[in-house]
Chains A and B, each alone.
Chain A
């Protein structure tokens, strides 16, 4: 017998929403005919890659589009306002009505915790402002209430925080403040726009846990905007997929992530590197995603034999940054960015250096590229001690290692053609001297990264992020290096683009016997691409071993913590164990206060773990 149906009105019902930027012939459609319902106490995740229109849709709900130049050209956003006791169409409501709802019944958390708080006001006054506005509280009561909510998001020392300024807080703490600020009027709807994208994975786990708890406690509905399928799988009840400003599909999280109906969703899911998907294989594996990356017949290098001579041997490398202070400007503190770091990289091998922000992984890369001077330690390139060489001869080694940076937008000179940028390293090192040589090299490099050779005449702004990162890789190849240091090189890219660039890197490695030092915080990508993995914590390597050893048999508590914090793409699965609390400690220490050195002991062939 069918259960009697009760008419359930969704809290928010979006119908045929279209948003345009600009007017007339110059109008660009950013959202095209989007419809969805958000029910009470439910979490709806809107997923898609950059430019899909997911953030724009959320700003439309708040009626804030006009401030970034957008207009709602059609559609209705019907919201059941308890405050006003009626249904309000947020697309057409008067500004005064919207202001009553904003921050009160519908609140929002933004992506960048570092810039979401106003730097010139204290945390307390920024929170009190909302409470005074919507609940008419006086300063004293508003502070009391603010304190309650800071406690609710588990901020330690909440009382002191009220009088702190944003710059005194870490990113994770700022995001908690932002959440406390958003929920302090107990909104019916909380919009979270990529709330954890800028945070470290263990901090991300904490923030997601807090949002889930608050949702249960306060009965808030959440619109969760994300590009991260793992996060979505852990957070959402329902999922809506967008692509290029259009609706693709929607449904329950189990249906959409478990049994996607549309090709795009399937491809998107296939491009997501999943931790554990490589269990049992020893060699890295190319992504094979129809419509995104095609198999090219190239097999990635198998695990490298360690009886070969290493390309690079790093021994007890220590790099510190001085912090000066006091009346006489003496060195009072040091950042122990890298302490006694030792590892080898073999020809044709990828060593992944993983860790969270402040772990010193980038410092190691920069020290190898000789962008910073180490305090002590040795670095041997094909057996030759680099730091023992005079300055001029060290330069010759520089061309053997090349750096690829995270930000593909900032690392190409906007005033130079792509061709000029590509051959620049070769020019600096005197490998090309004539114009004809330069043109040949540029064409050759573009071919290597699968880009048309006539791109050499164009300028960087004409390329997408993924193409630019290909160009950066091409430039790194200009001097025929044997080692490429990739510092978060794929972290800023959308998953489908990331999959392509990761594939490209593996193919280039197989073809040219390149070695990679792959510096990243993203464990899932590491599992795909690397032969061996070194885990860094507070400037020291705490565990190093083959990919299988680290992922299938992690020994150090930090490695385990890092792996368990990664959101798993397993629809319907909710992490139950609360994540470990606490901030990532700082590697800054007073002069004379030397850190305890981690002693690595061997647990199995090639697998070393810190005590």
Chain B
């Protein structure tokens, strides 16, 4: 029963947040300038009537809230309308979204594969040479701007040693450099998280109890300690994934990755309202959905929440 209430509560919150975000997006976009001017192109021969005709054709002369509700309706039905310049918005997003998700998942995978073993190692050898080395490395990683790291990797692995493609998305090899770039940046944070969480659970009394049972160190660390540390780690990684979906813009641009970030930036520079509204809103909805999922998963992996 409490679980049910919790789910309903979180769902209602998610819906409210989505409404607020889409409203803000629709409003803010209209502050950036008149797309009719942009569409009319070269401003020398354009009359006020031309502009009015364009606005009429695009439906921009209707009241703001009518336009907003149309947009909400299109979000619900999935028919996202036409871009000003590039055809069906739904088709554009159907191509861009999987690329972004693929990149986000690959980056997370890189980070998890590195940070969990390193974090555990660091915690087990707290204060030792390897721990200090890992911590310094993590600090260095945190201080890198991610686009700079991306450019360095491109210089090294596509130009000096042409192993991987520098840009675009043609084959799985294209994924390596951007995913590694983001993976490394995420690892810098995650290593610290895993280390702290493991240190905390390793000092818990139930870990000593597990040792006193005669269990092997492997079982003590990976079963008893990690399973508890995982509660916070999984929660954090989930939230990180949500942020990542919306935060890939710069890396997508650096690697010319055909994802949601690139699509949004293009839409901004062309003042393509329908496209921009749709991309930003869908990214926001994804982030809200991931957050919701994290909350629910948290309830699943922590019995103290599951069984009240």
Q: Show the binding face of A for B, using Cβ within 8 Å.
A: 62, 64, 67, 98-104, 107-108, 110, 112, 115-121, 129-130, 133-134, 165, 167-168, 178, 181, 325-327, 329
Contact = CB atoms under 8 A, between A and B. Distances in A.
Given A118-B224, A119-B303, A110 B205 contact: yes
Contacts of B209: 108, 110, 116-118, 178
Contacts of A130: 213-214
5 contacts: A118-B224, A121-B224, A133-B215, A165-B304, A178-B209
A110 B210 contact: no
A67 B205 contact: no
Q: Lowest 8 CB-CB distances: which A-B pairs, in order?
A: A103-B213, A102-B214, A103-B214, A118-B206, A115-B205, A165-B303, A108-B212, A99-B214
B211 A67 contact: yes
Nearest to B212: A108
Nearest to B201: A118
Main secondary structure of the interface of B (DSSP, over half): helix
A107 B8 contact: no
A181 B214 CA distance: 12
Interface in B1-39: 1-2, 4-5, 8
B5 A326 contact: yes
Contact of A67 (B5, B208, B215): B208
Given A110-B205, A326-B1, A327-B5, A120 B227 contact: yes
A67 B199 CA distance: 12
Contacts of A133: 213-215
B216 interface: yes
A460 to B, nearest CB: 22
Of the listed residues A62, A121, A134, the one surrounded by the most CB atoms of chain B closer than 10 A to its CB is A121
Contacts of B232: none
A467 to B, nearest CB: 26
A325 B208 contact: no
Given A118-B224, A326-B1, A326-B5, A110 B214 contact: no
Contacts of B205: 110, 112, 115-116
B207 to A, nearest CB: 8
B204 interface: yes
A130 B219 CA distance: 12
B302 interface: yes
A103 B205 CA distance: 15
Nearest to B301: A120
B228 A110 contact: no
A110 B304 contact: no
Contacts of A119: 206, 228, 303-304
A401 to B, nearest CB: 37
Contacts of B216: 99
B206 A104 contact: no
Nearest to A165: B303
B307 interface: yes
B281 to A, nearest CB: 30
Given A120-B231, A120-B303, A326-B5, A101 B208 contact: no
A99 B217 CA distance: 10
A453 B227 CA distance: 51
B212 A167 contact: no
A528 B34 CA distance: 86
B214 A101 contact: yes
Nearest to A59: B208
Contacts of A102: 211-214
Contacts of B302: 120
A181 B209 CA distance: 10
Contacts of B214: 98-104, 130, 133-134
Contacts of A108: 209, 212
Nearest to A68: B208
Nearest to B220: A67
Contacts of A107: 212-213
A115 B206 contact: yes
Nearest to B5: A327
B208 A110 contact: yes
Contacts of B206: 115-119
Of the listed residues B205, B304, B307, the one surrounded by the most CB atoms of chain A closer than 10 A to its CB is B205
